[in-house]
Structures are given as C-alpha cells and as structure tokens.
Chain A
Amino acid sequence: MPVLKTGVVQVMARGTDVAFVIDEKAPFDLVASELRDYLAKQNGLWSKGDITVNVGQRLLARQELAQVKAIIETHSGLKVTRFWCSPESLDGGDFHIEAKPSAARSSGSKRNTADKADKPPAHNEIVLPGEASNNPAQPSPAIVSFIEQLKARHNKNGARNRNLTEALFIKSTFRSGETVHHHGDVVVLADVNPGAEIRADGDIVVLGSLKGWVHAGASGDTKAVIVALELPSARFEIAKYQGIAPASTRRKSKSSSSGPRIAYVRNRSIHVAEFAGRFARYSKGVPYEG
C-alpha cells in the first residue's frame, strides 16, 4: 500500500516493511534533491529500522547508490540495508557480480539480527556492504549480489519480492482475446470474460465475475491466491498447479458460483472456498481437480 507519494520518490509501506521506490526515468540529481527535501519535511516520522530501496530498472553507479544511502540515513533514522532493482537491469549493469554469498555477507553488511543475516538475499537485491558505501572510491569487491539467474525468482523469496512490484489495475472489462502478464499482483475492476488470459506473478483479484483463464503465482509462488466476486471459471492455475472445477460444480455453475470465492493451493492441489478475507485461515475447500 503506497502511503506517501512525491514526484519521483515513492514510499511504500506494507506491514512493517518500508520501501523507497524511485522513479526510473527521472534524472539522478532530481531524485537526490527530492529525496532530501522529502525526508527533511517528514523528519521524525520514522524512528529507526532497516529499509530497502527499490530503484527499478535504473542502473545507478556505486557512488550514486552510496549517495542515496547517505541521504536516507542522515535525514531519517533509517538504515539502508538493501537495494533492489529489476533483474533485467543487472545483466547489462556495471556491477561486478561475484557469487560468493557467504564470504561477502560476513565481511560486508552489518545486520543486527542473526536471523536476517542467515537469510540469503533474493536474486535481484544488491547488498551494499557498509564500508563500501562509506568509501565508495575504494576499489574493493564492494557491491556483491547473488544472482543465481532468473530462475532464482522461483525461490522462496519470490513472494517477498513481488510485494515491491506495484499492482496492475485493469479498470474495464477484460475481454476475450486480451492477455496480460504482470510481474506482480493484478486487480481487475470489472469482469474477466471467457477467452481472456491473465498471468500474474502475484495474486489475482477480480472485482467482478471471473470467467476467463488466469494463472496466479506464475513464477512459482504457491502462496499466491485468486479472489473473485464470482468464480464461474472452470479452469485456472496457481504456480505449477492446475485447477479444474469438479463436474458437479460445473453443472450447477450458477448457484455454486455466487458470492466471492478464493482459490489457493493446499496439499499440492487447488482448493476453492468462500472468501473470508485474505489472511483468513482456510481449511479444505472444494478441490478443483476435475
């Protein structure tokens, strides 16, 4: 949920996570000055904590990353522990990527909690070691990232990363023949008609009748869910699992599809239950196994 927004710098908060998202096209000078102004204005809003800075597709030089870090840390009580950027931009970037996870971590970032240090960063995070940012000119293996490759997307950190990708809003009826693939959550403020296809790495929420084909958690996230005000669709997917409505549901589709439904993965198959909130504890619903 975005809480605050300025022109080029956006602050997102989700639960206890706070993220700074920086516009991908704005010139760096503007970003730096806006960020400084913004933090000065909001002085005292944050006490302290670790934050992640999402730079999107922008390729920042090391000095620039360090500058962003310095601005945030001096003007708020926050400590920048990670930078995040989209995976595509790492390939062509000027970052020298060394796959030495354990060594780099012990010598580099100073994380307070042991549990955090043990968690391997996701593939598209750039861990910024403390000394490197303080002294960016030093030619040391300063910025180390653990990119396994794009397939690392499928690891268990995938779920956390997608929180940082903004949701895609589709504001009119999604019609037959229309397709979309979004690396995040997708919200449709209308019906999804038969013959339409939506693929999302995150959740799919349809504030209407879901009659088309959708695939939530398309990059492998089994925690992804599909929520729809009506779910007459007989076929959809979550992560690698396929859901096919049982024949009985299909026959009396009108009565069984009334009311909001949630589809989720339980015991390696897709279940559908009456929607009772995103974080409700769902027991076994109707298995969609055909």
Chain B
Amino acid sequence: MKGRTIVITSGKGGVGKTTATANLGTGLAMRGHRVVVVDTDIGLRNLDVIMGLENRIVYDVVNVIEGTCKLSQALIGDKHDFELYLIPAAQTRDKNSIEPEQLRELCAELEEQFDYVLIDCPAGIEQGFKNATAAAKEAIIVTTPEVSAIRDADRVIGLLESAGLHRPRLIINRIAPEMVKRGDMMDQKDVEALLAVEVIGLVPADENTVVAANRGVPVVHNPKSSAGQAFLRIAARVDGEDIPLMDLEPKTGLISRFKDLVGIGGRTYSHA
C-alpha cells in the first residue's frame, strides 16, 4: 500500500511545527505504522534535536537528493523501538539547494516504503515552503491562538489551496485554558470561524513539551502529560479514527474536584 505524504506547516515561525511533526510521527509509529519524518528546514535544522537524534546524523536530505548517498544511508532510526525514521535537513546549505520536483521524487520513493511520510516545513512562504508543500498530498497547519499566527495561517491556507492542496486541517497549539476562560485568549470556535478549516487537534500549553524537547524525547512518550495525550489523539485522528476533540477546561473549583473524587462525570475530558 502506498503511504500518505503530509506536510506540517504554519507560515509563522515558532508556533510548534517541528514539535508537532516529531510528536505526530512518534504517535503514528506508536500505533504500529512505518513512519518517516523529513526535515526540509535546510540551514536551520531542528527536528533531529527534538527527536534526540542529532548525534547520529551522517547524511542529510540534500545528500540524498544530490545522490551523494543512498536513501537508506540517510534514514536515521529512532532511539525507541518503533518503525520511525528521520531524514535530517542539511545545516550547511540553504533552501535553494533543492527543487520542489526533487523533493517530490524523494517522497514518492519514500511512500513506497512507509505508511506515513511527514514533512516538516520551514517558516515563511518562500522557496523552502514551496519545496515542502510540492511533495505533499495533505497538509496540517499548526497555529497558536494569537492573531499574528492566525493571519499567517490564513495566508498559508490560501497558498496551499491555490497549489491544489485542498482542505488542510488545523492544529491549535499552546492553548492556555485559564486564559480562554477569562476571555483573554481566542478559543477553538473563534479560530475555526476565522480560518474556516477543520480542526484536527487542540494542544494545551504544557511545560512537559519544553522539557521533552530539551531531552530529545517527544512529549507523546509521556502519556500523563496533557500535551502528550493531545498529540496521541491527533495521531489517532490522522489515522482515521473518529474521536472527539478535547475539552480544554481548566480543572479548578471544588465542585469539579469533588465530582472527580466521587466519579460523577468522572472523565477528565468531556466531549467537545
């Protein structure tokens, strides 16, 4: 069976594309799929660091495309016991070192071997973006509930649609439930109304995400963390499972704690 190539993009930098790629890749691999993540942020590679594979890099995506090495040589196996591989970006080159067509060919080759090919897209809408999106047949947009990130996401969705990548899906990252409740942060409905695309996941702001990235172990490995759970659920949804979005209500107040205690409505997450 041919694999699915999905690009993870955002327009704005620093909203969590790379973190989302690492976690989604790991999440899908945990579900038993053969997954490869490709870092196309040439010159500013990060994905290897977040996955804790920095020390194992010998060859990179530019080497493969230029034919300096075989594809199998550039595939770095994950530290954990999953069918998860990384093709890192080159650090000493720039975005213009590859052409969209070359990446498309590479992904076509990867699709033969893997169930999922996830492309980590660089920030911006220039050459790197064009390279990354050309190869994909599906797109996931990462945004945070901030106007600047949403504006960029809107622009990117427009560009994707004009490039023929219709119906991209959205991950809203770094939601602070307390701020949403106070009305200081946009909620899922606001973002959905602005961008008019399907939301595939809500990820709460979680310190564990930062800790996990620093350790080089994606947060999905920590099933107790709220962000880890969120990414697992997103992986399940990408995989075609129909599970409701999390309701990111802050768990405060005596009543809800009491309810938790005695087990009425005893689920942490109600249906969104």
Contact = CB atoms under 8 A, between A and B. Distances in A.
B196 A178 contact: no
Interface string A198-234: 0000000000000000000000000000000000000
Contact of A176 (B155, B161, B196): B155
Query: Quick one: which of A172, A177, A191, A194 has the most chain B CB within 10 A?
Result: A177
A257 interface: no
Interface string B245-266: 0000000000000000000000
Contact of A195 (B155, B195, B196): B155
A151 B82 CA distance: 69
Contacts of A175: 154-155, 157-158, 161
A100 B154 CA distance: 53
B159 A193 contact: no
B195 to A, nearest CB: 8
A179 to B, nearest CB: 10
A63 interface: no
Interface string A155-180: 00000000000000000110111100
Contacts of B194: 191, 193
A191 B151 CA distance: 14
B159 A191 contact: no
A190 interface: yes
A234 to B, nearest CB: 15
A137 to B, nearest CB: 51
A177 B196 contact: no
B265 to A, nearest CB: 33
A163 B55 CA distance: 68
B196 A190 contact: yes
A175 B155 CA distance: 6
B197 to A, nearest CB: 9
A55 B196 CA distance: 39
Nearest to A175: B158
Given A175-B157, A177-B158, 4 more contacts: A176-B155, A194-B154, A195-B154, A195-B155
25 contacts: A172-B161, A172-B196, A173-B195, A173-B196, A175-B154, A175-B155, A175-B157, A175-B161, A176-B151, A176-B152, A176-B154, A176-B155, A176-B158, A177-B155, A177-B158, A178-B158, A178-B162, A190-B196, A191-B194, A191-B196, A193-B154, A193-B194, A194-B154, A195-B151, A195-B154
Interface of B: 151-152, 154-155, 157-159, 161-162, 194-196
Interface of A: 172-173, 175-178, 190-191, 193-195
